[in-house]
Structure 1
Amino acid sequence: MQNVTRLPERQAEPEKITINLGHVDLGRIDLLVREGFYANRTDFIRTAIRNQLTNEGRSVAQTIDRYQLELGLFDITRADLEAMATAGEKLRLKVVGLARIAADVTPELAEATIGSLNVLGSLQASKAVKAALKDRTT
């Protein structure tokens, strides 16, 4: 993974998700917000998710080790992939977090240099590159 740059977490934009909650749960959240325990619904949900991830931290760490996953944010540049092509290597990346493939990476370069891409989190790449890697991305 020498050609992949690990970025500080603050450089990544958060991913938006949508969830469905029952009326009673939503009302209970609103009550806590109204009483000042949380600034808003989003604050409550982020806090709940972080607390649950902390509670499950050991299990997550063991799973990352077991599957040899990389944890973090990865920026895959054109130069990285061109260097791999020159070396005759293929990138096989397993990420828990964010993998970004630079906008100047062509679908042809991606196909030639990316053997597999397993992303648990988010993959940011052009539509053309995502389409080219469709059979190699999980």
Structure 2
Amino acid sequence: MRLRGLLRLRGRDRRPHATPLRRRARPASGTRRGRRGDDVSVSILNASGCLDALAAPHVARTLDAFVTKTITPEPREGNPVPRIAETEHGMLNSIGLQGPGIDAFCEHNLPALLALGVPIWVSVGGFSASDYASICAR
């Protein structure tokens, strides 16, 4: 949450709140068996949109779960080119959530992703609460 949103949540309460300083990692609430059979307390996932699992299934199968590119209710072309700009200190991008929409995703992409044999986490996007609800209902 951004600072402005946090300040709005505080409302009239203007007392400064101290941020807790964590010096050590929190102990795991419980361990589980990892993909290689060892006990782990962390899952390895890709960032949404950064890996094409169908083009690189051998990479996707090494993850504890695969996160899809963000799916929207309708197909989106994304932003016009140029979408990526190199700067002196790195790179900026503004792809604009290009994607096939929920119908094409469920018909074409999802069956192929399920065949990978790893859990699938679907990233959803929308412009209203009803957009999110309709995608999650599918």
In terms of fraction of residues, the more strand-rich structure is 1
TM-score with structure 2 length normalisation?
0.30
In terms of fraction of residues, the more helix-rich structure is 1
TM-score with structure 1 length normalisation?
0.30
